[in-house]
Chain A
Amino acid sequence: MTESTIFTIAFALYALSLVVYFAALFARREKWAGSAFVLAVLGFLAHTAALILRTLTSGHAPFTNMFESLSFLSWAVVLALIVFGRTSRVPRLGPYLMLIVVALVALASSPLMPKSATPLVPALQSYWLWLHVSVTLLGEAFFAVAFIASLLYLAADAEEKRTRLDALAYRAVAVGFPLFTLGGLVFGMIWAYRAWGRYWAWDPKEVWSLITWFVFALYLHTRIVMGWKGRRSALIAIIGFLAALFTYFGVNYLLAGLHSYA
């Protein structure tokens, strides 16, 4: 089986998982949600196989163009679902996270995205490509969990649900923030220093990851030191994820800079 066939199978499993999740939600069948989770895990395994196969055939890390990095990001979001899905006791987390996953995979599969693995330009030939991109996207996947939990918080009515969603958002930020800092900022600076001879050039993508970092730093300080919770925290987490999203997509298309390849 080729890598693209396996990728399509993963996509199908994700889509199926999404449908079953929402069916469970609307029909109020908790057991179905369990099956949806299993489907997501199966899709995750297929997706993992596709990523490994792609790495073996291309000989480089599977995140060097938009298709590859979208594929990896969606993989990381499913991983975050596996980490938090069973313990968070938030039945809506699964369906909405899978909605993000399916949207990302659909975007990756759209004909606009070049899919072929192209040879790497000299600047990308570095093992820092692995470390920088994978850890950053992993961090962003946990920000996606915080984003969904915060949106659900704003929509929730019962106090008990809200408490759980607020705690889930905080836990997701607490996992994602160190990863994002390490992958996005620290590894990014080290690689930039090796490749370009400067660790920080105020390139738009660098500035936007700093902005994302600032927003989540704000989230943590208002929460831990000033005791903010609930609605205000949720709003900051939502802004933070949108900033991360803009760093990832928007900067490439709207602002010119050094990161023109990814």
Chain B
Amino acid sequence: MRAIWRFLSSVKLAIVLIIILTTASIVGTLIPQGRSLAEYSARYGSLSGLFVALRLTRLYQSAWFLALLLLFAANTIVCTVSRFGPKWRRAFRSAFDAEAKAVLSLRSSCRFRLSLPLAAAGERVRTELKRRHYLLSESAGDNRAFIEARKRRLGWFGSDVVHIGLLVILAGGFTSGLAGRRSELALSDGQMADVPRASFSVRLDKFETEYYPQGGVKDWKSTVTVIERGAAVLTRTIEVNRPLTYRGVSFYQQGYGWNWDLARLVLEIRKPGQSAFSRAVTLKAGERAAVDDPDVTRIAVRRFVPDFVIGEGGQVQSRSEEPNNPAALVEAWKGEERVFSSWIFAKYPDFGQGHGAAGAAAPPEIAVVLKDYAAAAYSVLEAASDPGAVLIWIGCALITLGLFVAFYWPPREIRIVLEDSQGRVELAAGGQASKSRDAFQAEFDAIFERIRRPA
């Protein structure tokens, strides 16, 4: 038990752990995390098996990484606890008794004589130190007085506060990992969904995308109503950076999309020979429609993609869900004869009109233009409950507070021994500051200059 305590109280262990955690973290950024097995074998070949076995592909969630973090936490606890006692005594011990020699060995020191009785000298020292906001504790010996002066004592505990904050953050991280839940809700306007693991539902009233005048998305806004036991409780607009929290569940604007499978397409049939001819047909992908015309009797949309691209294998794909290059595969018949079969593009109406019936050399009798396409947009909301988050914020506050106290509020300590020698007083003083020593030295000199020669 004692051996374990000694092992865990070592700062060397902390340093070794920090180095290991750093190295592991670097590895985790070099190997993409959480991809498919196929992607790893394509990227790393025979090494991929080893990477997966060592959990380097889900490194930050792996048992060994979490075990290192737990060891790091135990190390931090033991280091902090074992150093706390001496530090506490140093900050709050009430009296000291030391030879003048010990006091003079401190970083800043001075000694001189005052032509005053002991009591008056003590009073002068006291007044000057109090004026500088030092807290004093005193004790007396025979013909001697000891004055211990300290200020900014909190500074000694800044690092402890940082360590506690770090532990609270680690606890928060583990809590989030174990108890945090998140799920996606994809909702179209008017649609309602039960929130998983909660006793209420949300309904999307309206989803809108705002654009800048010069293009580019400005904002996504989902107006939702929370419905509990059949009654609407509240209505709120969720935006990126403005989540809604209700009964411990937060809703984030996470994404959006369009129901392209149900897109409503408007096709315009033209005849290159008759410029006045135009016939509009509205239909969905996969549907066919009858046309009342001697040259075209039927038209069908085989497929629709919002962002046309030809993939590596030569097959048509959609590069994204954005309507960057909407295209439809359209076929048209005159009786039983197919007179048109081609991909047509909303943004490039002249492209794809060249070939009529497959392989036919004759000029096409008709042209088809994709005039319009419209699909209902849906909003993707993330419903998340994260009981660890509150610990994270407490931990962050502690770390910040601790760091600023430790680095910007360094404690100062001055010890003074006054010794009566035949009606005069020998003064010996020493002091130290844990940081900003130049500033302390200046204060130390000023204090004792005034004690020696009061204005």
Contacts and interface: CB of A to CB of B under 8 A. Distances in A.
A200 B15 contact: no
A87 B241 CA distance: 42
Interface in B1-28: 11-12, 14-15, 18-19, 21-22, 25-26, 28
Interface stretch (B98-106, B141-149, B267-275, B382-390): B382-390
B323 interface: no
Contacts of B217: 121-122
Interface residues of A, number: 45
B340 interface: no
Interface centre among A126, A186, A222, A226, by most B CB within 10 Å? A186
B241 A195 contact: yes
Nearest to A208: B29
Given A207-B25, A211-B26, A189 B392 contact: yes
B240 interface: yes
A118 B216 contact: yes
Nearest to B382: A197
B212 A119 contact: yes
Interface centre among B25, B408, B436, by most A CB within 10 Å? B25
A189 B396 CA distance: 9
Interface in A153-186: 171, 174-175, 177-178, 181-182, 185-186
Contacts of B393: 190
A217 B400 contact: no
Interface residues of B, number: 51
Contacts of B18: 214, 217-218, 221
A255 interface: yes
B250 interface: yes
Contacts of B220: 122
A202 B240 contact: no
A177 B239 contact: no
27 contacts: A119-B214, A122-B241, A123-B241, A125-B219, A125-B240, A177-B403, A182-B400, A186-B399, A186-B400, A189-B396, A194-B241, A195-B240, A196-B252, A196-B254, A197-B243, A199-B392, A200-B392, A207-B25, A207-B29, A210-B25, A211-B22, A215-B22, A221-B11, A221-B15, A221-B18, A226-B11, A226-B12
Contacts of A182: 400, 403
Interface in A223-258: 224-226, 251, 255-256
B229 interface: no
A180 to B, nearest CB: 10
Contacts of B124: none
B404 interface: yes
Given A122-B240, A178-B404, 11 more contacts: A122-B253, A123-B241, A174-B435, A178-B407, A181-B400, A190-B393, A194-B242, A197-B250, A197-B254, A202-B33, A214-B21
A185 to B, nearest CB: 8
Interface string B15-49: 10011011001101110110000000000000000
Nearest to A181: B403
Interface string B208-230: 00001010111110000000000
Nearest to A123: B240
A29 interface: no
Contact of B407 (A123, A177, A194, A214): A177
Given A199-B392, A217-B18, A175 B407 contact: yes
Contacts of A261: none
B440 to A, nearest CB: 13
Contacts of B32: 256
Contacts of A215: 22
Contact of B182 (A171, A194, A197): A197
Contacts of A221: 11, 14-15, 18
B173 interface: yes
5 tightest Cβ-Cβ pairs between the two chains A and B: A122-B240, A178-B403, A197-B252, A126-B241, A204-B29
A186 B395 CA distance: 9
B216 A119 contact: yes
Given A182-B400, A207-B29, A217-B18, A193 B241 contact: no
Contacts of A255: 29-30
A186 B243 CA distance: 19
Contacts of A125: 219, 240-241
A214 B72 CA distance: 12
A166 B173 CA distance: 36
Contacts of B33: 202
Contacts of A195: 240-241, 252
B348 interface: no
B60 interface: yes
A161 B407 CA distance: 24
Interface string B400-414: 100110011000000
Contacts of A119: 212, 214, 216, 218
Interface centre among A123, A185, A221, by most B CB within 10 Å? A221
A125 B219 CA distance: 9
Contacts of A208: 29
Nearest to B29: A204
Nearest to A251: B29
Contacts of B243: 194, 197
Contact of B386 (A122, A175, A198): A198
A116 B242 CA distance: 27
B290 to A, nearest CB: 45
Contact of A222 (B15, B216, B389, B403): B15
Contacts of A211: 22, 25-26
A256 B30 CA distance: 10
Nearest to B393: A190
